[in-house]
Structure 1
């Protein structure tokens, strides 16, 4: 029993131009609002089958929401520990799923350390992005897309910690898309993959200064960086303003609210400044979603 749902891949008239069709994989339609449910749901199912009695998360964002949703579906209690900086809206969404929310520490690291200290042998900790089980789950969106659209000439997605990227590339290689280039979009101030590629090795950012907090991994995962050595990956950055404007455009044209983290991929696709997007006849954009932002937030950020 899959926790996630099959989502449509739509041919976007609004985002396409004369010689290029833009296709959107609508992961924003997942029950908890983001693609995270694919990998997290799969991981939770595996741990439940192995006998886990409780699920733990230290994500106050979309991963935490996905763990809470999966736990409710599986009938397992969920504890999510979040730092004091976590906004009220995400905490409300997590509690709605029946999870216990504990606020501890001034940073994610402090919250995560607290969670690990309370971990019991029968608990399963669900990492937000760095786990092969997550990548297996995320890969299913490409398996679906391959039956819903022509083979693309490029795939565009947003990168934070690299879980989505790792899963999508795993799926692309499974369906015969190994020759399709990937455009990895980040916002300036949350661009750990871009920095790693430029440096030729993993880089830890001093701080996350972008409003796209769901992209806020100061260091991209080793798995995501390793993919850049075996697949054609182009890292690109957009400004916060461009990401927010892209979100407003998605809301206007497709009636969906997504986070600036998701807007980064849309902005990169619509700018078409990356060479592999110029001349591409079919472009797949992963509309990864995100439930941490409201329409009011987008209006405030847009000024």
Structure 2
């Protein structure tokens, strides 16, 4: 498989310029010493602690409500440039953000999109897909059945099969996000991203490595496809059970993601569901930002208190160093905010 390079990220950046919304970044008040214990401080270390800086990358404001718009634009435009975009258009199996992004990008490029979704997909997402002009086909009760139907359609119609995360062009499109973050936050040390199948992580990590920036890959502790792949030394199937399963519920991480995770400047961490819920609530209560649980997963790595296994237990949470400058990617907002708003009104 083609391994993702920084040249791929740069090509994607040039390709999608003017077709996506540049990410906005917002500084959060510096985190005071003791609020979240800084890493690497021994009990006898009497140096004065310094606050560390946190910035939010507001990618949930992207077209279609998630970073996937970058991926879909890069995928479709690259095939158009190469002359490999068929008259039958593109097809994808997804009832979520990838399907929405594919349908939107296809409309932007004037090509047909056929999206296969499980029959249990929320009606609001099906309506939005149709609003983007997609031919929506409801097949099966599970994603796997929709995927099988999508593959059969691609084979019989000649449509170009897109993927939610497992393709170099998809990952490269996601990596353009880090290029924009880096340009806006001088001296950035670390970027924190949530991980499902690994498309966003692989792209961001490839760009971050070029700029000497650390990448922290965050997964729910019961949706740990990447973490398990690192442990096993190869992609493996995992069970998925999390509040964020709708976006981070990949059963297997991609080879691209595992390759990126093996680099020295990457750390894989896990967070419990309860901390994901709390991080999402914190974003609403203190910033009036309503995001998906998948987006809140990234922030949960920083906001979780000391966990049962201890504050420095391998794989759990991320404790920034004194003075560290950290960007947290809030990657999507296709969520029902009623549980946030109704609670605030009561």
SS in 1 for 2:191: strand
The 5 A counterparts of 1:18-167 are 19-49=51-81, 50=83, 51-53=85-87, 54-119=89-154, 120=156, 122-167=158-203
SS in 2 for 1:146: helix
Greater mean alpha carbon deviation, residues 155-164 or residues 72-81: 72-81
Matched, 1:242 2:275: yes
**RMSD, aligned α-carbons:** 2.2
- Distance in 2 between the 1:244 and 1:277 partners? 21
CA contact (8 A) 1:79 1:99 kept: yes
- Distance in 2 between the 1:94 and 1:22 partners? 35
- Larger of the two Rg values belongs to structure: 2
Segments of 5+ residues of structure 2 without an aligned counterpart are 1-15, 34-50, 306-310, 312-316
Paired position in structure 2 for 1:17 = 32
SS in 2 for 1:277: coil
Which deviations, in whole Å up to 9, do the C-alpha atoms of 1:187-217 show, x marking residues without a partner? Answer: 1221111222233332201x32112120010
Matched, 1:286 2:329: yes
**Distance apart, 1:139 and its partner CA:** 1.6
CA contact (8 A) 1:156 1:269 kept: no
Aligned length: 296
SS in 1 for 2:322: coil
Pick from 324, 337, 340: which aligns with 1:295? 337
Paired position in structure 1 for 2:241 = 209
- Distance in 1 between the 2:121 and 2:102 partners? 17
Which deviations, in whole Å up to 9, do the C-alpha atoms of 1:123-144 show, x marking residues without a partner? Answer: 2211110111112211211111
Distance 1:252 1:72, change over 3 A: farther
**Distance apart, 1:92 and its partner CA:** 2.3
**Distance apart, 1:69 and its partner CA:** 0.8
Which deviations, in whole Å up to 9, do the C-alpha atoms of 1:227-261 show, x marking residues without a partner? Answer: 12223322222222221221222223333321111
CA contact (8 A) 1:158 1:185 kept: yes
- Distance in 1 between the 2:222 and 2:123 partners? 23
- Distance in 1 between the 2:304 and 2:32 partners? 12
- Distance in 2 between the 1:121 and 1:25 partners? 39
- Distance in 2 between the 1:79 and 1:280 partners? 49
Segments of 5+ residues of structure 1 without an aligned counterpart are none
- Distance in 2 between the 1:199 and 1:73 partners? 41
- Distance in 1 between the 2:259 and 2:282 partners? 33
CA contact (8 A) 1:244 1:298 kept: no
Distance 1:35 1:157, change over 3 A: same
**Distance apart, 1:295 and its partner CA:** 0.5
CA contact (8 A) 1:257 1:289 kept: no
**Distance apart, 1:81 and its partner CA:** 0.3
TM-score using structure 1 length: 0.90
